[in-house]
Amino acid sequence: MWTTERIADLVQSGRVHRDAYTDPGIFDLEMERIFGRAWLLLGHDSQVPRAGDFVTTQMGRQPVLMVRQRDGGVAVLFNRCAHRGSTVCSAAKGTVTQFVCPYHGWTYGLDGALLAVPSPEGYAEERSPQRRLGLAEVPRAEVYRGFVFASLAADGPSLRDFLGPLISSFDDLVDRAPEGEVEVAGGVSRHAYDGNWKFVLENHLDTIHPRYVHASSIAAANEQDDRSPTDGAGEVGVRQMRQNGAPNELWEGIGLWVAGGGHGYMADYHDDEKLVAASDDPVHVEYQKRMEAAYGPERAREILAVTRWNSIVFPNVSFMSQFGQLRIVRPLAAGRTVLDTYVFRLKGAPEAMFRRAVAFANVVNGTGSPVLTDDLEVYERLQTGLGADGNEWVDTGRGFGRDVRDGDNGLDRGGTGTSEIAVRNQFRAWAEYMTGAGAADAADMAVAAE
C-alpha cells in the first residue's frame, strides 16, 4: 500500500528511490494523480484543419478524440460509446461527418451529441438514450497558439498558470514563422521502448550524456566531408551529430532553466552558427528578410536571438523551437513508453527551412536516427539496471546546492550547465502531484538541503 508518507520518502535530497521508476503501483498512481490532473498536450490544431477531421490519442489511460468542429473550434471527447463502452473510433486519424460505434451502431455528431440509435422504438420514452447520452467531453480543453491541451480534472490551475514561464517557449516556436503560424507537416515518428516515461524528460535536459551515449554517431560525423548539398539539409544532420561531441567548456556554459510544475528548458547550446542560423547562409538571409518584412527589423532580431533548445512541459512534452520538433510522451506501463515526434513547418518561411527541419528530425528523432536509437537503448538499460539488486537509489546530486534562485521571473538556473537541476525539479513536481502537497512542501521533501 503506497501511503502518502511512503511516496514522499521516495524523493529525498539529491536522490530518488528506484521504485519511482519501476513499481507498477506507483505507475498506477501516476496515471491517476499526474496524468489525471495535469494539463496534457494532445497535439496541434493543424492536424485537424477541416470540420470532421479527427485524431485519436491517449490521456494517460483514457482514449480520446481530438475533433475539429463545424464552428472552427476543437473538441476533445472520450473515445467511449455511451451504450456499452466500446471505443467508437479505432483509426489513428481521418475525416468523418459523424461517429458510428462499431458494436451497436450508435451514431454521434462531431460534438459528441447522440444522433441516432438502431430500433429506437425498443426504448420506453422516458428511457430514450438520446435525451441523456453522448460522447462525453473531457472536463477541460484549451488551445494556445495552435497547441491543443486538455485536462481530465474539472478543477485546477488555468492553462496559462500551469505553463507559467514556459508559455514563452511556445511563443518562441510560433513567432519564428513569418506568418505567425506553424503547422504539423507529414506524419508521426513513433517509437516504443521498454523503459519508464520519465527518462525522456530527464534526458532532454541532460548535458553530460551526449559525448558518451552518442559517441558512435559523433565519430561517424567527424569522418564526413564538410561539403554539403546546396540546400544545407544534409549538412544539418552532420553538424548536429558533431555538436554532441562539443568540449566540456561548452556544456558547462549552457543555461539550464527550470520553473514550477516540473517544467524547464535548455538555452545557449550551440557554438556552431551554421547549424542554427548563419549570416552568410542564403536560406537564412531570405528567411531573415521575410521575418523583417513581417515583424520589422528590431522585433525580428529579438525573435531570432532567442537560443532555446529543448523545452520540457511536465509531464508529457518535449519540444524544440529552432528546428520545429515536438515530442509527446505516452506512458503505457512502468517499463513501457511510446514517444511520438512531429515536425512543424513555419508558415511563410522558405521551404528549405522545412527540409532542414526534416533532416534534423531524421538524424535526431526519426526511425533510422543514429542519435535516438542510442537514447532508446540507454532508457532500456536504465530500466533493466534499476530492477537489479544492490543500491536502491538514483543519484540526482550533480550541482546540488549551487542552483541560482530567481524569483523575479519564476525561473531557477543550474549553477553550471551540467547540473542535474532539471531532474530534481521534475521530481519536486512529481512529489507534489503524488502526495497532494503544496509546492513549498514538495520542495522541502525533494530538495531540503539546497
Quick one: pLDDT band at residue 326, thresholds 50, 70, 90?
A: very high
pLDDT at 388 over 60: yes
Q: Residue 313 corresponds to which cell in the numbers above?
A: 512541459
* Cα distances (Å, whole numbers) of residue 153 to 70, 140, 409: 26, 7, 27
Quick one: pLDDT band at residue 223, thresholds 50, 70, 90?
A: confident
> What's the pLDDT at 127?
60
- Measured CA to CA, the distance from residue 322 to residue 290 in angstroms comes to 16
The 10s digit of each residue's pLDDT in 226-264 is 655 545 566 777 777 777 877 888 888 888 999 999 999
> Looking at the chain, how many residues does it have?
450
Ranges of each domain in the chain: 40-144, 161-447
pLDDT at 275 over 60: no
Q: Is 255 exposed, middle or buried (0-12, 13-18, 19+ CB in 10 A)?
A: middle
Q: Residue 24, preceding bond cis, omega within 30 degrees?
A: no
Please give the DSSP secondary-structure letter assigned to residue 403: P
The 10s digit of each residue's pLDDT in 390-445 is 899 999 999 988 888 765 678 999 988 899 999 999 999 999 999 997 644 544 44
- Measured CA to CA, the distance from residue 349 to residue 300 in angstroms comes to 13
3-state secondary structure of 146: coil
> What's the pLDDT at 103?
96
- pTM as predicted: 0.92
Region 299-314 average pLDDT = 93
**Other CB atoms within 10 A of residue 381 CB:** 12
CATH superfamily of 40-144: Rieske [2Fe-2S] iron-sulphur domain (2.102.10.10)
Residue 123: phi and psi, rounded to 5, are -105, 135
> What's the pLDDT at 120?
78
Closest by CA position to 252, among listed 402, 410, 382: 402
The 10s digit of each residue's pLDDT in 96-155 is 999 999 999 999 999 999 999 888 777 766 566 665 689 999 999 999 999 999 999 999
* Largest interatomic CA distance in the chain: 77
- Measured CA to CA, the distance from residue 57 to residue 40 in angstroms comes to 11
Residue holding cell 550524456? 209
- Measured CA to CA, the distance from residue 37 to residue 30 in angstroms comes to 10
CATH number of 161-447: 3.90.380.10
The 10s digit of each residue's pLDDT in 19-67 is 999 999 999 999 999 999 999 999 999 999 999 999 999 999 999 999 9
The 10s digit of each residue's pLDDT in 146-187 is 999 999 999 999 999 999 999 999 999 999 999 999 999 988
- Measured CA to CA, the distance from residue 238 to residue 232 in angstroms comes to 10
Mean pLDDT across the chain, nearest whole number?
A: 89
Quick one: pLDDT band at residue 2, thresholds 50, 70, 90?
A: very high
- Measured CA to CA, the distance from residue 328 to residue 313 in angstroms comes to 10
> What's the pLDDT at 233?
60
Q: Residue 280 corresponds to which cell in the numbers above?
A: 552568410
Residues forming a β-bridge with 65: 56, 77
Please give the DSSP secondary-structure letter assigned to residue 126: G
- Measured CA to CA, the distance from residue 43 to residue 64 in angstroms comes to 12
Terminal Cα distance for the chain, rounded: 30
